[in-house]
Amino acid sequence: MTMQNIGRPTRPEGAAESTGFTSLTGGRGLLQDEPLIFELGGWTKTGVDLPAASGDAADLAGLTRAGVDLPGLSEPEAVRHYVRLSQKNHAIDLALYPLGSCTMKHNPRLNEKAARLPGFADLHPLAPVATAQGALQLMDRLAHWLKTLTGMPAVALTPKAGAHGELCGLLCIKAAHEAAGQGHRRTVLVPTSAHGTNPATAAFVGYSVQEIAQTEDGRVDLADLEAKLGPDVAAIMVTNPNTCGLFERDVIEIARLTHAAGAYFYCDGANFNAIVGRVRPGDLGVDAMHINLHKTFSTPHGGGGPGAGPVVLSEALAPFAPAPWVVSGPDGLDLVEEAAADAAQAFGRMSAFQGQMGMFVRAYAYMRSHGADGLRQVAEDAVLNANYIKARLSDVMTPAFPDGPCMHEALFDDAWLDGTGITTLDFAKAMIDEGFHPMTMYFPLVVHGAMLIEPTETESKRELDRFCEALRALAATAKLGDVERFKGAPHLAPMRRLDETLAARKPKLVWKRESGGA
């Protein structure tokens, strides 16, 4: 999940004075000040030893370029450059990373090793099917696990991320409506608390978006839903557990009303982590749901992808799934890469090839490692950890929904900061000085100054306590009026607050010689 820039400053406001001691050369101890590769001078250098090319390229006369104007680095220089850069990043391997809705959990290294086995990593997507039976078996097994865990009869594996999965799900819904002569249904209902991708995806496929109101206790307002479920509604898109970290108590009634109105129930599965192994979305009346393998099934976030977003589908939507899919054939498994004429309902193709195979291997290794028992424990510990944080912080911060348990994330508003002059953003940035990544801020939009904390199940009690102690100390300091600690935060990070307004006003998106001075 992202950080909204609605209702928060995008320029540094605090005093710009330095934190005190400065080095003579610009670095901060072991934290080096590292230039761009374009400033390191290797314009004729290469760090790869290649043989001579055979012959020239005379046959391409008039079709070739003059040369490639990019610098290179020798291997030791390149290693140093990127290792130095890496040290400026926070990571789940360093500390609790409480980004609500993002599910930053431990990434097992076994999964990395498995994905790099030559039979997976060095397998060409168009290799003859007879030479890719292990890959097809893995896709088949992954599909079986996803279907069993969700209680859904079908899954489309190819979508490359959550938003791509949403698109796939909505395209299935659109195709199903069109096949049933219901193509006039052009509206998608989305709760006000939805992820930004939901309305973006609905608009993307040409649907108009209508918001559903939320109740006082953070759930879909059934009366409002019922009022808006007309003959023009194609689908509802509901996240469950929702973005307030709450389970939609009336979900079965939501599904019933939706189906009664002739619409489909799309569930955003971003928060499946909270219920995996305990609750099957199929039992809730869901028609389609994407599963972020990079959230629930722990494939690494990698600084912004790659992800994977397979979509599970109900019986009604399964015939509309995109190509390709795996089938059993006379000589083992086969890959259907183009829908046959008799399966013309399939709506097409979400991308080239078979989807995020590298992520399938990792997710499958993760599922196998946990098993049915471990996955259930995942949901239980994720929910336990979030409720523990909520319980430990409720006397110093204000929970947005104090009554009843939360699911896998604890949501606070900024009421407790009233009168301090400190904002959610300031508080979050001060967390950096204490060694923690900020929580998701200003999302969901329905809660003022929202702070959404998702610890995940892979945090020990010791780390949770360390986190809670840090937040309690910060909260106490905020109330005592130590405003500068917050306004100027972070003081101890590799960088102070950055000027986003400047970046957007005069975008500098690539390095240029004249400005870089090489």
Partner 1 sequence: MRYLPLTPDDRAEMLGVIGAPDIDALFADVPAAARKADLFDLPLHAGELEVERELTALSALNRAAGAGPFFCGAGAYKHHVPATVDHIIQRSEFLTSYTPYQPEIAQGTLQVLFEFQTQVAALTGMDVANASMYDGSTACAEAVMMAQRVNRREKAILSGGLHPHYAATTQTIAHAEGMEIVRLAAAIDAEAAVIDAIDDETACVVVQTPNVFGVVTDVSKIAEAAHAKGALLIVVTTEAVAFGLLKTPGEMGADIAVAEGQSIGNALNYGGPYVGLFAVREKLVRSMPGRLCGETVDAEGRRGYVLTLSTREQHIRREKATSNICTNSGLCALAFTIHMTLLGGTGLSQLARINHGKARELKAAVEAAGLEVLTPRFFNEIAVRTKGSAAALVDDLLADGIVAGVPYSRLDPHAGLDDVLLLCATETTTSEDIAALKAALTQKAA
Residues 226 to 285: which contact partner 1 by CB under 8 A?
Answer: 246-249, 251-252, 275, 277-280, 283-284
Footprint of partner 1 on 406-425 (CB under 8 A): 407
**Coil, strand or helix at 267:** strand
Q: What is the rounded CA–CA span in Å between residue 158 and residue 290?
A: 11
The piece of 164-172, 221-229, 311-319, 470-478 that touches partner 1 (CB under 8 A) is 164-172
Question: 410, 390 in Cβ contact below 8 A?
Answer: yes
Q: Is 89 in the site for partner 1 (CB under 8 A)?
A: yes
Nearer to partner 1, 418 or 469 (CB): 469
Residues numbered 481 to 510 that lie near partner 1 (CB under 8 A) are 488, 490, 493-500, 502-504, 507-510
Interface residue with partner 1 among 7, 8, 9, 123 (CB under 8 A) is 123
Which one of residues 7, 8, 209, 316 is an interface residue with partner 1 (CB under 8 A)? 209
Q: 99-118: which residues touch partner 1 (CB under 8 A)?
A: 99, 102, 104, 106-108, 110, 112-118
CB of 398 to partner 1, least distance (A): 18
Closest CA to 312 of 293, 292, 288: 288
Establish if 459 lies at the interface with partner 1 (CB under 8 A): yes
Q: 5 vs 477, which CB is nearer to partner 1?
A: 5
327 touching partner 1, by CB under 8 A: no
Residues between 10 and 49 that touch partner 1 (CB under 8 A): 12, 14, 16, 18, 34, 36-38, 42-48
Q: What is the side-by-side order of every strand in the sheet holding 154-156?
A: 154-156, 311-313, 288-290, 264-268, 233-239, 187-191, 208-212
In angstroms, the CA 513 to CA 518 distance is 6
Taking the least distance from each CB to partner 1, the nearer of 318 and 378 is 378
CB of 193 to partner 1, least distance (A): 12
State how far the Cα of 355 lies from the Cα of 158, in Å rounded to an integer: 4
C-beta separation of 321 from 353 below 8 A: no
The Cα 145–Cα 139 span in angstroms is: 10
> What's the distance, Cα to Cα, between the start and end of the chain in Å?
38
Regarding 461 and contact with partner 1 (CB under 8 A), the answer is: yes
Q: Does 167 bind partner 1 (CB under 8 A)?
A: yes
| Nearest CA among 78, 77, 85 for reference residue 32 | 85
Among 412, 486, 407, CA closest to 452: 412
- Out of 27, 41, 134, 329, which residue is the one contacting partner 1 (CB under 8 A)? 134
How far apart CA 104 and CA 97 sit, in angstroms, is 6
**Which of 23, 27, 64, 329 touches partner 1 (CB under 8 A)?**
64
For residue 9, state whether it binds partner 1 (rule: CB under 8 A): no
Binding residue (CB under 8 A) for partner 1 from 7, 133, 213, 262: 133
- C-beta contacts of 386-392 below 8 A and 24+ residues apart: 386/245, 386/410, 386/453, 386/454, 386/455, 388/461, 388/464, 389/453, 389/455, 389/464, 389/467, 389/468, 392/464, 392/465, 392/468, 392/472
377 binds partner 1 (CB under 8 A): yes
Residues 163/197, Cβ–Cβ less than 8 Å: yes
Please, which residue, 249 or 259, has the CB nearer to partner 1?
249
Nearer to partner 1, 351 or 421 (CB): 351
Q: Does 184 bind partner 1 (CB under 8 A)?
A: no
- Token pair 């696990």 in the structure block, residue: 145
Q: Does 177 bind partner 1 (CB under 8 A)?
A: no
CB nearer to partner 1: pick between 483 and 493:
493
Of 366, 364, 351, 362, which is closest to residue 158 (Cα–Cα)?
351
Q: Which of 272, 297, 325, 347 binds partner 1 (CB under 8 A)?
A: 347
Residues in contact with partner 1, counted by CB under 8 A, come to a total of 212
Q: In the 8-state DSSP scheme, what is residue 220?
A: B
Q: Which is nearer to partner 1, 217 or 418 (CB)?
A: 217
Selected from 20, 29, 128, 517, the binder of partner 1 by CB under 8 A is 128
> Is-contact 448 415, C-beta < 8 A?
yes
CA distance 110 to 515: 45
Write the binding mask 284 to 323 for partner 1: x where contact by CB under 8 A, - elsewhere. x-------x-x-----xxxxxxxxx-------------xx
Chain position carrying tokens 């399966």: 343
Stretch of residues binding partner 1 (CB under 8 A), selected from 202-210, 310-318, 413-421, 476-484: 202-210
Contact 311, 159 (CB under 8 A): yes
Cα–Cα distance for residue pair 452/96, rounded to 1 Å: 14
Does 518 participate in binding partner 1 (rule CB under 8 A)?
Answer: no
- Check residue 162 for interaction with partner 1 (CB under 8 A): yes
